[in-house]
Amino acid sequence: MKITVQQLAAMVGGTVDGDDNAIIDNYAKIEEATTGCLTFLANPKYTHFIYDTQATAVLVHKDFMPERPVNATLIRVDDPYKTLADLLNYVNTIQQETKSGIEQPVFIGQGTQVRDDTYVGAFAYIGKNVTIGKSVKIYPQCYVGDNVTIGDNVTLYPGVKIYHGCKIGNRCILQAGSVIGGDGFGFAPKEDGTYEKIAQIGIVIIEDDVEIGANTTIDRATMGATIVRRGVKLDNLIQVAHNVEIGEDTVMAAQVGIAGSTKIGKHNMIGGQVGFAGHITVGDNNGIGAQSGVPNSVGDNQRLLGAPAINALTFARQCAMLRRLPQLMDDVRALKKAAENKS
């Protein structure tokens, strides 16, 4: 889609410094952009790229003051990053083919009503007594078990599996291969050293505006519900165990693992490969760095790193000390040798 800088600025409520009539037909990172591209500058550490970028136009903060001439046209906005996100979402909506109707073959169970505005892709299976909201898209090879509830404007990408009885809120996106409601990892040890499976009779509840990444798994509760609260964003390849609760607007990067019955609060930012022990509580507004291990409960407003996770500044000091350890060991050996020579 081609658009002039002037038209684009009008869409986003920005002001233009440069050529109003320049044509935008693509998007790119500031260091990779070529003629015709729109890019953005939100992080000051990337400012040096703006002087050499080949982009036609750059979204910048309205107060940005270049230190030397910039060849690209500047579009000044309140928040360049959010503005770009809104534009990309708009372009994505235009580019995506509007899906509708029921392809064949599919299976739709007894007692399940599919609305006229629902899309169901080929080889999908929808069980008995499933409730499906408005404008739902169910892509090919999805499985929706009996008595599942799906809200309005939900998208299930290819290969999503939702087990019986689970509930999906409004405006949720489940990426390809995600599994909702598989059995929790419950086994009772027996006297002979073997294990007996404990039936997992609960469900999974996913509230509104949640996105679940590809191949992420959320286990059903042993009893009650595993709950993912409103606005949560989960990356790919995350494991959420039985009876876990994740609070509103918490975000998690790939390969996080959460053991059973752990409760995580609101507005947490959790890096990749973080591991949470079971039966602990994590408060609100925490930042937990990648590859941290969290064995105990955590309060609010903390910044943690390491395994076991500790205060991020303390962890940084420990890392600095570890880098000096070889020299310290050399110094100790030298002192020991000097002491031995004196004796």
Instruction: Residue 34: give its domain's CATH number.
Output: 3.40.1390.10
State whether 77 and 108 are in the same domain: no
Among 34, 35, 37, residue whose Cα is nearest residue 26: 37
Do 303 and 172 share a domain, yes or no? yes
> Which of 63, 95, 127 corresponds to the end of one domain?
95
**Amino acid 140: pLDDT:** 97
Sequence-separated (6 or more) residues with CB below 8 Å from residue 12 = 59, 75, 77, 83, 86, 87
Domain-located, residue 319: no
Is residue 164 annotated as part of the catalytic site, yes or no? no
Same domain (yes/no): 35, 74: yes
Q: Which residues pair with 61 in a beta bridge?
A: 77
**282 and 191 in one domain?**
yes
Instruction: Report yes or no: 262 and 275 within 8 Å, Cβ to Cβ.
Output: no
Are residues 49 and 113 part of one domain? Answer: no
Q: What CATH code is carried by the domain that includes residue 275? A: 2.160.10.10
Same domain, 160 and 200: yes
Q: Is residue 181 part of a domain?
A: yes
**Are residues 286 and 209 part of one domain?**
yes
For tokens 């009539």, what's the residue? 21
Question: What is the Cα–Cα distance from 329 to 324, expressed in whole angstroms?
Answer: 9
Q: Count of CB atoms within 10 A of residue 124's CB? A: 23
Say if residue 20 is in the same domain as residue 167.
no
Say yes or no: 146 and 291 in one domain. Answer: yes
In this structure, what DSSP letter does residue 190 have? -
Give the count of domains, the chain: 2
The tens-digit pLDDT sequence of the chain (343 residues) is: 789 999 999 999 999 999 999 999 999 999 999 999 999 999 999 999 999 999 999 999 999 999 999 999 999 999 999 999 999 888 887 776 678 899 999 999 999 999 999 999 999 999 999 999 999 999 999 999 999 999 999 999 999 999 999 999 999 999 999 999 999 999 999 999 999 999 999 999 999 999 999 999 999 999 999 999 999 999 999 999 999 999 999 999 999 999 999 999 999 999 999 999 999 999 999 999 999 999 999 999 999 999 999 999 999 999 999 999 999 999 899 898 888 888 7
Going from the C-alpha of 29 to that of each of 39, 85, 95, 277, 295, the distances in angstroms are: 6, 13, 20, 38, 39
Specify whether 122 is located in the same domain as 161: yes
What's the pLDDT score for residue 99? 81
In a domain, 163, yes or no: yes
Q: Which of 48, 61, 164, 242 is catalytic?
A: 242
Domain contains 327? no
Please identify, among 79, 95, 111, the residue that sits at the C-terminal boundary of a domain.
Answer: 95
pTM of the entire structure?
0.86
Residues 56/72, Cβ–Cβ less than 8 Å: yes
In this structure, the answer to whether residues 246 and 277 fall within a common structural domain is yes
**Whether residue 183 is found in the same domain as residue 290:** yes
CA distance 269 to 248: 11
**What integer pLDDT is reported at residue 50 of this predicted model?**
96
Tokens coding 183: 């059995």
323 occurs within a structural domain: no
- Return the pLDDT at 90: 84
Domain that holds residue 149: 103-311
Flag whether 108 is in a domain.
yes
Residue after which a domain boundary falls, among 95, 126, 158: 95
Identify whether 342 is part of a domain: no
Q: Is residue 321 part of a domain?
A: no
